[in-house]
Structure formats: structure tokens, C-alpha cells
Amino acid sequence: MLVLSRQRDETIMIGDDVEITVVDIRGDKVRLGITAPRKIQVHRKEVYDAIKRENEQAAKLRPQDVPDVVEPELRPGERNNGSEKKD
């Protein structure tokens, strides 16, 4: 891990596109400003971990685990636009 010291209004560059600026320091809290291209997602670590867990759980689902999404049941009288199963 690289450890850097910065003061208020000083910036760290990550590559050519990401800037991290120390915006404020109050007691034991540091406020950071992050400038990055829209294609780069920026999250707090706990949010990133939660997203990762949700994605892993969703990847484990099988089609039969979510039948209403894969094959919604039709109510009497509804049509399925020709995609009904024929016996």
C-alpha cells in the first residue's frame, strides 16, 4: 500500500484521469473530492462490497428460481403474442 501525506487543497493523481483532492480535515475525518471520468465508478468501500455481494448472489440464481421473470403466468383470457407453448 502506498501511503501519502497531503494537506488541505492538495491533490493526488491516479493515472491521467483520476484526481483526489483533500477538501477538508476536521478532527479525525478527512473529506475528499474525487474527479474521474463517468465510465469509472467511485464508491465508498462498504457500498462497493454490498454491490459485489448482491451481484454474486444474483449470478447464483437459476432461471427456475425466478419463474415469474422467466415465464410469467398468464391470467385466463390473456395472450402471449404467439410465444405460448404448444403441446
Q: Is 85 a member of any domain?
A: no
Mean pLDDT by runs of 10 across the 87 residues of the chain is 96 98 96 97 96 91 67 65 55
Q: Is 61 a member of any domain?
A: yes
Say how far apart CA 70 and CA 87 lie, in whole Å: 19
Q: Is 82 a member of any domain?
A: no
Number of domains composing the chain: 1
Q: Is 58 a member of any domain?
A: yes
Residue 39's identity, in one-letter code, is K
Terminal alpha carbon distance of the chain? 63
Cβ atoms within 10 A of the Cβ of 57, count?
9
Q: Is 2 a member of any domain?
A: no
